[in-house]
Amino acid sequence: MSSAAGLPPLPAGTVLPADVRNASPADQRTYRTAMAFERVLIGQLTTAMQATVQSDDDTTDAATKTYTDMLPGTMADALTAGGGIGLAADLARSLKTQGTLS
């Protein structure tokens, strides 16, 4: 079983830094795991942010609600595919230093 069990796969086309692309397979796995964690965190943060601005208006139709509910995940995927917010690099470096993942 993978150490990233339970984490969703990264979006297609996710940008990996040059040092990660040229790293060992174990280091690439560590970075991808850290990036998957970052994606989940971004998704949770954007969901929490969205909850603070959503109206409780009952006039919203089902289609609008469905698309509105998809926005946090879409935002998280877009940020992750573009290289993330920088957390993954620090997390991967920390995991590699501690020898937590191999």
Integer Cα distance of 83 and 28 in angstroms = 14
Per-residue pLDDT tens digits of the chain, which is 102 residues long = 345 667 777 777 677 888 888 888 888 889 989 999 999 999 999 999 888 876 666 667 888 888 888 999 999 999 988 888 999 999 998 988 887 554
The pTM of the full predicted model, rounded to 2 decimals, is 0.74
Instruction: Return the domain boundaries, the chain.
Output: 18-50+62-98
Which residues, 6+ apart, have CB-to-CB distance to 1 below 8 Å?
A: none
